[in-house]
Structure 1
Amino acid sequence: MKTIGMRLTVSVLALTASAGLAFAQSDELIAAAKKEGSLTTIALPHDWCGYGDVIAGFKAKYGLEVNELNPDAGSADEIEAIKANKGNTGPQAPDVIDVGLSFGPSAKAEGLIQPYKVSTWDSIPDSAKDADGYWYGDYYGVMAFMVNKDLVKTMPTDWSDLLSDEYANAVALAGAPQTANQAIQGVFAAGLSAAKGDVAKAGEEGLKFFAEMNKKGNFVPVTGKSASLAQGTTPIIIAWDYNALSWRDVLAGNPPAEVIIPKTGVVAGVYVQAISAFAPHPNAAKLWMEYLYSDEGQLGWLKGYCHPIRFNALAKEGKIPAELLAKLPPAESYAPAIFPTLEQQGAAKDVIAKKWSEVVGADVAK
């Protein structure tokens, strides 16, 4: 377990010393990808981590079509889409996935993804990638509260505040904890706060916390989004900071929204990329990875308020524009951030996903 300030952590994360380099954005790879003609993605909302602009940039640079499946899917849905489309070369078979950290090793173990090391492999921290190249971290953020200031007069500053009578029928997760990594991590973060930092107890304590919130009538069992916040259905949403900040920009003050990083239980979550073992367009998939992990792609995520996984390397080389850093919350807000290990995340995911309905008794509608 690590506690890391997320703005400038150049000296904290060690970089791997060597790796077999890939084709990069070579003429050969570009030609092979163009011959395939298209790329199929899944679960990439355009307002998530700046993906709208990232996808547009990839299309403009290489002239490939991008077939976007089910933007609102969760990590488990992405894995199921690979399983359901083994041998299918049609438009419903995803070439690439973007999933929560704990889903990477399990997908590898099930033979659902294939190895590929991008040319910038050396600048991806060892702790955020599979040594054999089956999956690799792409960006990270922390759990935050997004609040409709027209409807909520007292801003919550920590997880325990969400149990206040003032927040009756107000608090929502940004997904279903049985399938969506964002929701699982929200429950985990609440539990980490309740357990006073004991990661081993965070899953069970998170379920107890939401069971109490549901019993009090504060929990709203629908998927929180910018639209539901604006409509007043979910005045408080628990979501990744980059999603909340992006939604705040989209709302543009109608209604006014505030994004708050809680004082405790600050959980940082890494998402990872991988190529399907059955990808109909494997070269387009590799080119997509090369683009995402290039300086251009990484800064595209930062524009969407995500901390790109190569943040440290880019910062060290002076490649991050000051105006992008200025748009992020103050560095001190991230100081208590905890990066759970793969084992800790996996254990918590199993507890939360399997016991949510039984313990909390509130299935979240999409």
Structure 2
Amino acid sequence: MKRSKKLMGLTAVIMGVVMATAACGSSGGAAETKAADSAASTEAATEAAGGDTSAAGDLNSKTVDELTEAAKAEGEVVSVGMPDEWADWASLWKTMSDTYGISHNDTDMSSSEELQMFATEGEKGTKDIGDVGYGFAGQAVSEDLVQGYKTSYWDSVPDWAKGEDGKWMVAYTGVTTFLVNTDQVDKVPTSWQDIKDGDYKVALGPLTGGNAQAAFIASAYAFGGDMNNLDPAFEFWTELAKEGRINTLDITQANFESGEISVGVVWSFTGIPYSKNISQYKMQAVVPSDGCLQNGYASVINKYAPHPNAAALTRETMFSDEGQTYLALAGAIPTREDFTIADEYKDQVISKDDIANAVLISDADAYSAACETAKTRWEEEVAPLLVQ
């Protein structure tokens, strides 16, 4: 497991996150012209999709070239839970714009909210692709909310990181990280035991989200538990709740920037970019020495995506060498087993040695069950103790 001094060095050299967004062209002219343009665009997308206006058909049956042409015809991809600052998605969206002319917009939300939106909108879906916690992958499939795309990199992705027919795929993992405002905290905690023994007020986000569920389960490992025994975590967080030491704010960059969170539990792929992006305070990202999960988020393509080919091309780009490099430079660990970071970046990314002692979550069903238990028991045992 990576220790704090190493991570301090890492955060000092990691490249800044590219915060570029694709500009959307404005339309002009009479209503007839707009209608004609819209009709032409729809016709082109329909032809590229094989004449099927209701869906893209089987995405896995297309070559990458066919998929690319269809995606260009669609011209847009709409995501949920994939904001620029998370795992440097900004670079992904810039690539989609610069390389393929595909515009993008995102609505940030939790994993459960993403799947709820897919379910609520149904056949009238307005969103194409989301990024959900590993524990939500099974739900996405069991509720028939997603469609598959395996990517051309399928064989180099380990079995634990992909669902049948590509209905979900994990492009990256991260490790449990404390993000600390050192202007507000005198002694930076380097372990869960430090937090327990100190007087820190800690934010982990709502337990309906993948980040908080992972943070909670990580704390169980710190105090002798595991996914099948969460009691040590409940004892820890119940004690913090009774002492008024749980910060109920979400772990967004804005809440760190405002100074309202002094210690938060996040993933390395958010903690490291946040530490680079926040200029109001001095921030330090630390991997805890006694309870650290290595876990990923799964990309899911809405079954009723309005731009399914663009969504599939987005996933294809995530797994490309370029996409895996973006993720590594943002503090994530790329999933592809055949991917090697370029020599020029090797001293700027988390290495395998750094995470040697992290607990890799590789059983999606078991993890999903643990997350559900954490969420349910939190509402019953911890939430009533919180001072809002």
TM class, shorter-length: 0.7 to 0.9
Which of these residues, 28, 38, 47, is aligned with residue 76 of structure 2? 38
Per-residue Cα deviation, 1:104-149 (whole angstroms, up to 9, x for no partner)? 1221111111122111111111121113321111110011111111
* Structure number with bigger Rg: 2
What amino acid does structure 2 have at the position aligned with 1:125? Answer: P
Counterpart contact for 1:222–1:364, Cα < 8 Å = no
Task: Determine helix, strand or coil for the equivalent of 1:361.
Answer: helix
Query: Shift of the alpha carbon at 1:189?
Result: 0.6
SS at match of 2:289: coil
TM-score, normalising length: structure 1:
0.84
Instruction: Determine the structure 2 residue equivalent to 1:15.
Output: none
State which of 123, 136, 140 in structure 2 corresponds to 1:107: 140
Displacement of 1:97 in angstroms is 1.6
Choose 260-269 or 280-289, whichever is displaced more. 280-289
Residue in 2 that maps onto 1:293: 319
Q: Distance in 2 between matches of 1:143 and 1:80?
A: 26
Following TM superposition, by how much is the alpha carbon of 1:34 offset from its aligned partner in structure 2, in angstroms? Answer: 2.2
> Partner of 2:299 in structure 1?
273
1:74-102 deviations in Å (ceiling 9; x for gaps): 1111101101111215xxx2111211112
Gaps in structure 1 of 5+ consecutive residues:
6-19
Distance in 2 between residues matched to 1:24 and 1:294, nearest whole Å: 15
Does residue 160 (structure 1) correspond to residue 193 (structure 2)? The answer is yes
**Ranges in structure 2 where 5+ consecutive residues have no aligned partner:** 4-58
CA contact (8 A) 1:142 1:337 kept: yes
How has the CA–CA distance of structure 1 residues 257 and 279 changed in structure 2, closer, same or farther, with 3 Å as cutoff?
Answer: same
Which residue is 2:228 aligned to? Answer: 200
Task: Using the TM superposition, give the Cα deviation of residue 21 of structure 1 relative to its aligned residue in structure 2, in angstroms.
Answer: 6.9
The answer to whether the Cα contact below 8 Å between 1:24 and 1:118 also exists between their aligned partners in 2 is: no
**How far has the Cα of 1:363 moved from its partner?**
9.0
* Aligned residues between the structures: 333
- Asked if the contact 2:138–2:365 (Cα under 8 Å) also holds between the matched residues in 1, the reply is no
What's 1:351 paired with? 373
Q: Check whether the contact 2:182–2:283 (CA below 8 A) recurs between aligned residues.
A: yes
* CA apart distance, 1:232: 2.9
Alpha-carbon offset, residue 31 of structure 1: 2.0
Question: Which residue number corresponds to residue 12 of structure 1?
Answer: none
Name the one with the larger helix percent: 2
* AA of the residue aligned to 1:309: T
Which letter does structure 2 place at the counterpart of 1:336?
N
Shift of 1:186: 0.5
Matches of 1:81 and 1:363 in 2, distance apart? 30
User: Are 2:115 and 1:88 aligned?
Assistant: no
The answer to whether the Cα contact below 8 Å between 1:223 and 1:365 also exists between their aligned partners in 2 is no
Q: Deviations over 1:293-351 (max 9, x none)?
A: 211222121222211211x3112xxxx12343322356544221111322331121111
Deviation at 1:226, TM superposition (A): 3.3
Q: Counterparts of 1:150 and 1:4 in 2: how far apart (Å)?
A: 23
Q: How much does 1:67 deviate?
A: 2.9
Structure 1 segment 1-366 matched on structure 2, within 5 A: 23-26=62-65, 28-68=66-106, 70-71=107-108, 73-89=109-125, 93-167=126-200, 170-173=201-204, 175-177=205-207, 179-194=208-223, 196-202=224-230, 204-252=231-279, 254-310=280-336, 312-315=337-340, 320-329=341-350, 332-340=353-361, 341-361=363-383
One-letter code of the match for 2:330?
G
Q: Using the TM superposition, give the Cα deviation of residue 48 of structure 1 relative to its aligned residue in structure 2, in angstroms.
A: 0.7
Give the conservation status (yes or no) of the 8 Å contact 1:148–1:236: yes
**Normalization by structure 2: what TM-score?**
0.80
Aligned 8 A contact 2:86 2:270 in 1: yes
C-alpha distance in structure 2 between counterparts of 1:21 and 1:95, whole Å: 16
Structure 1 Cα separation of the partners of residues 387 and 300 of structure 2: 28
CA contact (8 A) 1:163 1:216 kept: no
Aligned partners of 2:172 and 2:332 also within 8 Å: yes
* RMSD, aligned α-carbons: 2.5
**Equivalent residue letter for 1:271:** Y
Deviation at 1:364, TM superposition (A): 8.7
- Structure 1 residues 134, 63: CA separation in 2 closer, same or farther (over 3 Å shift)? same
Q: Per the alignment, do residues 330 and 65 of structure 1 end up closer, same or farther by CA in structure 2, a change over 3 Å counting?
A: closer
